[in-house]
Amino acid sequence: MDFLGDVLGYVAGICTAICFLPQTISTIRSHNVDGLSLLSYIIYALGMLCWILYGLHLSALPMIIFNSPALLFALIIIWQIVCYKGKSE
């Protein structure tokens, strides 16, 4: 058992999974995407997609589980930026 490693890995994974949930909720509520960088979320989503594919390639289930919600939230935010950019100006 590697307690410290397990704790760090799980906290990191959970943070990765849920970090853009508050951003997603606040953007859905406010439709305010004014300050959000579309390019950043596209690169972020591409990164998450590659981590998931890498996880599938390595059969590493935690990598797939932690990165899938992150990709979902990123895609929702991208979709909202595309829909609402300009409309809130």
- Is residue 79 within the footprint of its own copies (CB under 8 A)? no
- Is residue 61 within the footprint of its own copies (CB under 8 A)? no
- Is residue 86 within the footprint of its own copies (CB under 8 A)? no
- Cα 19 to Cα 83: distance, rounded to the nearest angstrom: 22
Site residue total, its own copies (CB under 8 A): 40
Answer yes or no: are the C-beta atoms of 70 and 17 closer than 8 Å: yes
- Is residue 8 within the footprint of its own copies (CB under 8 A)? yes
CA atoms within 13 A on the CB side of 40: 7
Closest CA relative to residue 52, chosen from 85, 82, 75: 75
Q: Could you say which of 1, 28, 33, 68 contacts its own copies (CB under 8 A)?
A: 33
- Cα 46 to Cα 18: distance, rounded to the nearest angstrom: 17
Which residues of this protein are in contact with its own copies, per CB under 8 A?
4-5, 8-9, 11-16, 18-23, 26-27, 30, 32-37, 39-41, 43-44, 46-48, 50-51, 53-54, 57-58, 88
